[in-house]
Chain A
Amino acid sequence: MQFDWMQIPYSLLTLFIVLNYGMLLNALIAKIAARVGRRHGIPIWQNYADLLKNYGIRSSITHGVMFYLGPVFRLAGGVGLLLFVPTIFGSEMFSNLSFAGDLILALYFVFFGTLGMALGAGESGHPHAAIGVSRGLSQVTTAELPFALAVFAVALQYQTLSVTDIVAAQQGGFLNWTLFTNPFAVAAAMLGFLGSMMRPPFDVVLAPQEIPIGPPTEYHSSYLALMQTNRMIFPIAKIVVYMNLFFGGAASWPVFFIKVFFIYMVSVLVGVVFPRFHVEQSVRWFLVWAVPFGIIAVLMV
């Protein structure tokens, strides 16, 4: 694959589309979750207002360089993840900066933001942030484990580390999706996915009732706005990876929108109705339920 300068504005366009989609999707998901609670929920444009409001906060305080860099790292993680995987399969415009080994980079980016966040939150000096960070790191690590195993299985299965190639291999009817060709890997990955979406039962990191609200507890104004921006992009980017690896990717924007929505809904489906685990309970849960699937998947291939 050749690098073309034109890919940069194209990928920025992707970023723009995904950001707006993320804004609306998050609001839509919130509205759906609100429906379960038998209410209407936020207006669909709420996320724009929140974001703008937080950028418009006049005062802000910092606890140090890392506190400042935390959200930047986080956002970089989200944006980076998005930019280095192809968003729309087969589209010249929206394949972004993907390259042959982008799968490894993607894995790295998934983790990258969390680390930055941990450093920044740690510097805020707030005990709740510290507790949240330690919980977060242990949980993310175990949640990544089945995902990594699944990715490993998929990479083995398709004999490539290029996301584009993996997507290409899944084209031609939905039966070619990894979902059906390697269900154990998908199961492992989806269980890991539940853990990485910060929704119950795996939201012990934020846990407003225990350590309000974990790592971002000290973040505010523009810092928070940056993190919010990331919260709009990062889940979508992550889902893009899942979609590409397991659900046949998307060949056009409408397919992309629909697939992302449904994959997102998986975590919501579970998240709305369950309470949260302890951190050690969730760690154990991943080890007991998700990791074996991953191992089986790897072994099967």
Chain B
Amino acid sequence: MQALYHRLKALFPLGELTEQRENLVFVTVDAAHLRSLLLQLRDIEGFTHLVLLTAVDWIETGEFQLTYLLGNRAKRQDIGVRVMLSREQATMATIHDLWPTAATYQRELREMFGIDFPQSPGVNEEFILEGWNDIPPYRRDFNTLDYAEATYNDRPGRESRDPATYMREKLYGEGH
């Protein structure tokens, strides 16, 4: 995989190589070079299978990480291409013309993370959710527990005691 990395490095401004396994590596590339890198990987290097496309929300640094995972069946290798996007302007070029199935991924990312892929077919249609009126749910700043508690009723009658506190009350009559 090192050889591949060096070949690619000569052509594209790549970030550091993370070797997770002997047959799985991750590289970072900027958004502008993604498409040409993917084309290179698909057409020249034989990474023809788009395994998945997903995002990670690094809210601390204000970035979304898009991961394009490509597989090369003949060589039994996988490469994950990472693209960091600003959370503020989360827009990315679509790749549905390279892999038609990417349109589905992009539709999901649009809905669940709020990352836009202009020109991707049906990207603005509801995919999984229906009538969603909050921030995209997979974003880290969306708190699902709070939302669920505010929206759906609990069955009343649940209460619990902390053993340590309860024992102190019970054994020493201390209320703290």
Direct A–B touching, Cβ under 8 Å: no
- Write the residues of chain B forming the contact surface with A, with a CB cutoff of 8 angstroms: none
Residue numbers of A with Cβ under 8 A of B are: none
